[in-house]
Amino acid sequence: MAVTLDTLRKMKQAGERIAALTAYDFSFARLLDAAAVDLVLVGDSLGNVIQGHATTVPVTVDEMVYHTRCVARGLQRPLLVADLPFLSYQESPQQALHSAGRLMKEGFAHMVKLEGGAAMAPAVRFLVERGVPVCGHLGLTPQFVHQLGGYKVQGRGEAAAQQLHTDALTLQAAGAALLVLEAIPRALATQVTQALDIPTIGIGAGAACDGQVLVLQDALGMNPTPARFVRNFLLGHDDLGAAIAAYVQAVREGSFPGPEHGYD
């Protein structure tokens, strides 16, 4: 049975962990589908792991449409989410709708993801009111890397934590149906997850989030300098499918992320 947003909401309510991974092509998408991954994200992280850029900033809507369409052909079960790339949605809600429409109509995405807090609420509301499901993204937002001064943990300190908490509630009120929390302290992720009715998907945000996501290439040990929240699931397994299945199992049973895979 295909995973829907209603499925993910019910998983949160039941305390069942959501397993998510990125994918960028048909072949890996089929492996994720076979491993019963719940959510597949075509991330603009393809700028890093596929194109070799230092950041996600150069990725275009055309590139996101192409890779999303490739992934869609390999999926039957998971919810398919696609990133809106840098400066494809910040100009106006109308621009966001045009870009999101392309990802859904041409790329066959079920949902789009955008980065940013309360400033993005009008765009989120505009999209949702017109039938576009939206996933928010707070904490370390890679499209803002130059403004942030690098890939750093976010939400530390009382003021920063309160702002992130407020942003999360604002995005939910605007209609966001999911929220990615990246590289924030465990305690803050716990507070935000408990405060929200919508599921949270963590990456470097501790075990209290409703689900977990990793960049697929990171989860398969292909990054020579992985972040501390990454675990190589290929170790001890003979093939890629077994490694991906091990990731799904570890998320479901709560053994990943462990205490070493997050920030205080």
pLDDT (0 to 100) of residue 197: 98
Q: Between the CA of residue 60 and those of 56, 84, 114, 153, 186, what are the distances in Å?
A: 9, 9, 14, 26, 32
pLDDT (0 to 100) of residue 138: 98
Cα(195)–Cα(181) distance, integer angstroms: 13
- Looking at residue 65, what DSSP letter applies? H
Report which of 144, 147, 167 is spatially closest to residue 155, judged by C-alpha positions. 167
Residues 6+ apart with CB under 8 A from 104: 110, 112, 132
Are 149 and 115 contacting, i.e. CB atoms less than 8 angstroms apart?
no
Residue 211 pairs in a beta bridge with 18, 201
Task: Tell me which residues are annotated as active site.
Answer: 182
Domains of the chain: 5-261 (3.20.20.60)
Could you read off the pLDDT tens digit of each residue along the chain, which spans 264 residues? 899 999 999 999 999 999 999 999 999 999 999 999 999 999 999 999 999 999 999 999 999 999 999 999 999 999 999 999 999 999 999 999 999 999 999 999 999 999 999 999 999 999 999 999 999 999 999 999 999 999 999 999 999 999 999 999 999 999 999 999 999 999 999 999 999 999 999 999 999 999 999 999 999 999 999 999 999 999 999 999 999 999 999 999 999 999 999 899
